[in-house]
Amino acid sequence: MKGLQLSPRPVRGRLLFRCVPVILLILAAALFFYRSPALILSDAGFDTLYGARRSFLKQAGLSLRFFRRVKRVLIAEDANPEAAVFAIEEGSRRPWAVLGHSRYLRGLELYARRRPEVRVTVIREDSPPLSDGSPRQEAQPGEVESVFADTRLNSWRAGLCAAILAGESPGQVLVFQDRQHYPVNREAFTAGLQEENKSLSAVFLNGDIDYHAWDQVLCVVLGGPANSYFDRKDTIPALLFTWTDGALSPSTVKVLGDDSPWALAREAFRPPSGGEAYRIVPAEFTVLRGRTGAELGKRLKKAVHSQIPAR
């Protein structure tokens, strides 16, 4: 008696099934490279401070998020507006959007006037205009859009982190910065500090002051030069606002506050909703790996994503 003969699997169908993922991958890659890229203006000095690895990771992450290439456009720090425009056009003839710091403002404004169909966004270091209650006038074609750092929320989060690093004892937290309310807003920082520990007080100092009363200091926030802190080689924990790679900071620095173009780009590239003349974007805080215990690190990571509570 002959056994049953099973029909062989259709080879053609099996090959087609295996080819589908490859075809889809090729189509996705083609679409990715076909879409207009986003451009970020940078310079060699910034790249050196920020670190090549960090820049690459940010660039790759943004490219995946927006599913389009995010390209760096390198220009000289003192480039004139025409040179900046030339560099942008060399980066792409049809960019989706262009983003740069306010130190390139004149070049970005010139490019926006010449290419009004392209969104051009500037990250500013000053404060946003005071609101009079009237609707914001959104940027018109040929004008740059503005993004400001959310100094109030940044300061609240920095205050929470400083209080966590300071512990439960009464004492002082020193805040070094050059300008009165940037990068740390005094009112918001103090509110965040005392939300966590009401027995702490904040002392705000200009960076060039030679401070001596260190016996009550439990934490330091570095928003500007503070040679008197770094010269001590002490164990007082610190939160540092900087664009420099955190790996290069002293081991006493536990938290990094980054309001660089790479850190703000995710929200800065987001198309504005109707009526927005400008956007306010929080900095990116990082709890540096290996510099805190597990429980302390967990509390700090929660603090850097917290929101100011409604009263």
Per-residue pLDDT of 30-65, as tens digits, reads 777 789 999 999 998 898 889 888 999 999 999 999
pLDDT at 1: 47
Domain 33-149 has CATH 3.40.50.2300: yes
pLDDT at 34: 84
Give the global pTM. 0.85
297 or 16, greater pLDDT: 297
305 or 311, greater pLDDT: 305
- Displacement of CA 308 from its chain's centroid (Å): 19
* Same fold? 33-149, 151-258+284-303: yes
pLDDT at 233: 63
158, 205 contact by CB (below 8 A): no
- So where are the chain's domains? 33-149, 151-258+284-303
User: Burial level of 110, CB count in 10 A (0-12/13-18/19+)?
Assistant: middle
217, 173 contact by CB (below 8 A): yes
What's the rounded mean pLDDT across residues 231-239? 82
Residue 260 CA to residue 224 CA, distance in Å, equals 15
pLDDT at 8: 53
Residue 287 CA to residue 239 CA, distance in Å, equals 9
**H/E stretch holding 200:** strand 200-205
Residue 309 CA to residue 311 CA, distance in Å, equals 6
Bridge partners, 70 (sequence order): 38
Asked if the model's pLDDT at residue 283 lies above 70, the reply is: yes
Asked if the model's pLDDT at residue 108 lies above 90, the reply is: yes
pLDDT above 70 coverage of the chain, percent? 88
Q: Which two tokens stand for residue 289?
A: 């790996």
Confidence of residue 189 (pLDDT cuts 50, 70, 90): very high
Asked if the model's pLDDT at residue 132 lies above 50, the reply is: no
Identify which of 157, 154, 127, 155 has the alpha carbon closest to the alpha carbon of residue 278: 127
Bridge partners, 147 (sequence order): 123, 279
Give the three-state DSSP class for 257.
strand
pLDDT at 141: 76
pLDDT at 95: 96
**H/E stretch holding 299:** helix 294-303
Phi, psi of 7, deg, nearest 5: -70, 135
Confidence of residue 163 (pLDDT cuts 50, 70, 90): very high
- Displacement of CA 121 from its chain's centroid (Å): 15
Find all residues with CB under 8 Å of 276, minimum gap 6, and list them: 136, 138
What's the rounded mean pLDDT across residues 224-229? 73
pLDDT at 126: 77
Confidence of residue 5 (pLDDT cuts 50, 70, 90): low
For the domain made up of 151-258+284-303, the CATH class stated in words is alpha beta
What's the rounded mean pLDDT across residues 136-157? 85
Q: Which two tokens stand for residue 96?
A: 């989706």
Read off the pLDDT of residues 78-106 as tens digits, 9 standing for 90 and up.
889 999 999 999 999 999 999 999 999 99
Phi, psi of 11, deg, nearest 5: -65, -40
Residue 250 CA to residue 137 CA, distance in Å, equals 45
